[in-house]
């Protein structure tokens, strides 16, 4: 006999996060019919809507289809009961990061505004401790030289170790996510194909799934600007780490990597501008923007802005240069180290889900 385990608290949280009256869904199926990304067999989001209405957390967390949705909002626009399935799926994705986070408090800390002071205090305290132990926690005299404040070797070593630590914790969550997907959406009779890594990479890089979403064309441009801007910044940072090792740092303004970094910042500012505009002025399509949406946009904005100011402060020898630099390091921690536990974690969860979906032939 099929055992149904409703989780009323989970249902309540989904309702709150999505701003949807889940009980209003009458299972008409319009949402699945209009979704251009839903597979023909067992399409979404109608079935997810009934599971959400029943509070079936176990069927939703670890559901591969949740990640095939690119939140275009077409289903919400055509829902006769104004239930907003697009926002419900976004809320389930948000609950997924928190559910797989270990230790659990990391997921909780980054999903609730009340915990924001703690999330900020952790990097502040750790950075002050590292700098105090190194004996450099003071404003150096003379022209701005960030390595006099945070020696390059110490910065590269400590940040790499902390990032690896957080990502190792996150990898356990990804493994459990894979197992749950396998349990809930088992491979069909033809079994699993070899992991289609190249195919999924092409899908991600081309943002081809965004093209299928009718009402959200500018969303694709904004997402591409952010995605490629962010990727370029990471590549430039890796180059900068090598430059510190070979003593070719700081880079002059005319250095091609420096120019690429500045171009990437411009791409991020533009992408963020479009996204914030859409969330503020096109709520009909983009639905309800929650804490996790704003936390991501604001933290990426502050990271990029503080990076630009840190660079200007070095060239201009500003008195506040080291304060800006400290702020920038906290922002780096917030976006990069916390990545798997915030909305930015969709990079890893969506990639994993796409790999699983394509390897079982779910298109």
Q: Which part of the chain contacts ligand SF4 (CB under 6 A), choosing from 36-44, 115-123, 173-181, 326-334?
A: 36-44
Q: Which part of the chain contacts ligand SF4 (CB under 6 A), choosing from 29-37, 239-247, 271-279, 313-321?
A: 29-37
**Could you tell me which residues come within 8 angstroms of residue 227 by beta carbon, excluding any fewer than 6 positions away?**
207
Under rule CB under 6 A, residue 14 binds ligand SF4: no
Under rule CB under 6 A, residue 69 binds ligand SF4: yes
Under rule CB under 6 A, residue 101 binds ligand SF4: no
Closest approach, Cβ 47 to ligand SF4, in A, equals 9
| Nearest to 67, CA basis, from 362, 260, 363, 350 | 350
Helix, strand, coil fractions of the chain, as percent rounded to 5: 70, 0, 30
DSSP 251: P
Under rule CB under 6 A, residue 85 binds ligand SF4: yes
Cα atoms in the 13 Å half-sphere on the side-chain side of 270: 15
Under rule CB under 6 A, residue 70 binds ligand SF4: yes
Under rule CB under 6 A, residue 213 binds ligand SF4: yes
Whole-Å CA distances, 42 to 16, 83, 115, 184, 253: 27, 20, 38, 13, 54
**Could you tell me which residues come within 8 angstroms of residue 359 by beta carbon, excluding any fewer than 6 positions away?**
187, 192, 193, 194, 195, 196
> Which residue is listed with tokens 């990069």?
336
DSSP 67: G
| Nearest to 321, CA basis, from 332, 334, 312 | 312
The smaller minimum CB distance to ligand SF4, of residues 212 and 301, is found at 212
Please calculate the CA angle 167-340-100 and round it to the nearest 5 degrees. Answer: 95
Which of 52, 61, 64, 83 contacts ligand SF4 by CB under 6 A? 83
Under rule CB under 6 A, residue 335 binds ligand SF4: no
Which of 13, 74, 180, 293 contacts ligand SF4 by CB under 6 A? 74
Which of 14, 25, 233, 272 contacts ligand SF4 by CB under 6 A? 25
> What whole-number distance in Å separates Cα of residue 169 and Cα of residue 17?
26
Under rule CB under 6 A, residue 92 binds ligand SF4: no
Which of 71, 265, 299, 359 contacts ligand SF4 by CB under 6 A? 71
Under rule CB under 6 A, residue 86 binds ligand SF4: yes
Q: Restricting to residues 37-56, name those near ligand SF4 by CB under 6 A.
A: 37-38, 44-46, 49
Residues that bind ligand SF4 (CB under 6 A): 25-31, 34-35, 37-38, 44-46, 49, 69-75, 79-81, 83, 85-86, 89, 213
């Amino acid at each position: 006999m099929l055992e149904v385990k409703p989780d009323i608290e989970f249902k309540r949280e989904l309702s709150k996060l999505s701003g949807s009256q889940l009980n209003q869904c009458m299972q008409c199926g319009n949402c699945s019919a209009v979704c251009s990304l839903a597979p023909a067999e067992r399409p979404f989001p109608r079935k997810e809507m009934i599971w959400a209405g029943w509070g079936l957390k176990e069927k939703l967390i670890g559901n591969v289809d949740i990640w095939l949705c690119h939140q275009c909002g077409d289903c919400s626009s055509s829902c006769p009961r104004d239930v907003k399935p697009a926002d419900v799926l976004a809320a389930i994705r948000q609950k997924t990061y928190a559910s797989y986070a270990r230790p659990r408090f990391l997921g909780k800390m980054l999903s609730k505004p009340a915990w924001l002071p703690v999330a900020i205090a952790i990097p502040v305290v750790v950075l002050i401790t590292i700098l105090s132990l190194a004996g450099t926690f003071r404003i150096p005299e003379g022209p701005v030289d960030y390595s006099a404040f945070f020696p390059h070797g110490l910065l590269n070593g400590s940040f790499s170790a902390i990032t690896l630590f957080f990502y190792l914790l996150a990898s356990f969550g990804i493994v459990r996510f894979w197992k749950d997907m396998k349990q809930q959406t088992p491979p069909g009779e033809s079994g699993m194909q070899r992991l289609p890594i190249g195919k999924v990479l092409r899908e991600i890089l081309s943002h081809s799934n965004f093209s299928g979403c009718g009402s959200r064309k500018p969303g694709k441009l904004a997402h591409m600007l952010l995605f490629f801007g962010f990727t370029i910044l990471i590549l430039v940072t890796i180059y900068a780490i090598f430059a510190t090792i070979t003593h070719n740092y700081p880079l002059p303004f005319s250095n091609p990597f420096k120019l690429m970094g500045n171009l990437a910042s411009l791409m991020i500012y533009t992408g963020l501008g479009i996204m914030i505009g859409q969330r503020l002025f096109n709520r009909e399509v983009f639905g309800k923007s929650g804490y996790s949406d704003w936390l991501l946009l604001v933290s990426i904005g502050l990271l990029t802005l503080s990076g630009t100011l840190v660079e200007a402060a070095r060239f201009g020898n500003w008195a506040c240069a080291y304060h800006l630099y400290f702020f920038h390091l906290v922002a780096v921690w917030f976006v990069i180290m916390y990545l798997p536990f915030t909305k930015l974690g969709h990079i890893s969860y969506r990639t994993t889900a796409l790999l699983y979906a394509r390897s079982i032939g779910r298109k």
